[in-house]
């Protein structure tokens, strides 16, 4: 069976000691927080290290924290051969949230990054086609930001808010 979260965190910390900002191995959903500048190298390491073998990026999502003036990007990694998982977070400034793409590591990042870009405004640098995926190309704003205000109309059509 797979490694425990604390063991996975230890392997990551051995390789990226100066870049791990926080870890919560005992949380309901254990996670580590790393510096944004290492996400691509960390992704390759997590995929290629034989102890980890995170061959699947199952999700990228984001959370807006306006009170802290940050956006967290959350990466959910799975190892299908080892049957273990890892959650990695990066914390970005809300006024200019930018982080390197991981689509060269896992192709599934293509759609996940586009959705996070579209709904939260996170720029994934190096992404091959970072365009809106859910909202119209000319949509203004990012609907999952907490201060987002739904426009009353779009192209003359009344928006219905339930």
Summarised one tens digit per residue, pLDDT across range 90-134 is: 999 999 999 999 999 999 999 999 999 999 999 999 999 999 999
Residue 137 CB neighbour total at 10 angstroms:
6
CATH of 5-158, one of 3.40.220.10, 3.30.70.1560, 3.40.50.2300, 3.30.460.80: 3.30.460.80
The CA-based diameter of the chain, rounded to the nearest angstrom, is: 56
Q: Out of 39-48, 108-117, 150-159, which region has the weakest mean confidence (pLDDT)? A: 150-159
At 88 the pLDDT is 98
Backbone Cα Rg of the chain = 17
Cα 141-40-143 angle, rounded to 5 deg: 15
- Strands, E assignment, the chain: 20-24, 31-34, 56-65, 70-79, 84-93, 98-100, 123-125, 153-154, 157-158
Assess whether pLDDT exceeds 70 at residue 32: yes
Whether 47 contacts 56, CB under 8 Å = no
**Lookup result for tokens 């890892």:** 86
The fraction of the chain above a pLDDT of 90, given in percent, is 87
Q: Which token pair is 131?
A: 């365009």
Distance CA 156, CA 146 (A): 25
Distance CA 52, CA 149 (A): 42
């Amino acid at each position: 069976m797979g490694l425990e979260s604390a063991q996975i965190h230890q392997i990551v910390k051995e390789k990226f000691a100066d870049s791990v900002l926080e870890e919560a191995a005992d949380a309901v959903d254990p996670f580590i927080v790393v510096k944004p500048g290492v996400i691509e190298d960390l992704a390759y390491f997590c995929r290629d290290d034989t102890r980890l073998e995170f061959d699947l990026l199952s999700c990228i999502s984001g959370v807006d924290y306006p009170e802290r003036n940050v956006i967290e990007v959350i990466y959910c990694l799975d190892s299908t051969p080892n049957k273990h998982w890892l959650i990695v977070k990066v914390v970005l400034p809300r006024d200019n949230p930018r982080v390197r793409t991981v689509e060269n590591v896992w192709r599934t990042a293509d759609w996940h990054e586009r959705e996070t870009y579209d709904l939260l405004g996170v720029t994934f640098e190096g992404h091959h086609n970072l365009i809106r995926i859910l909202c119209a190309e000319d949509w203004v704003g990012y609907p999952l930001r907490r201060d987002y205000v739904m426009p009353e109309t779009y192209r003359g059509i009344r928006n219905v808010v339930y």
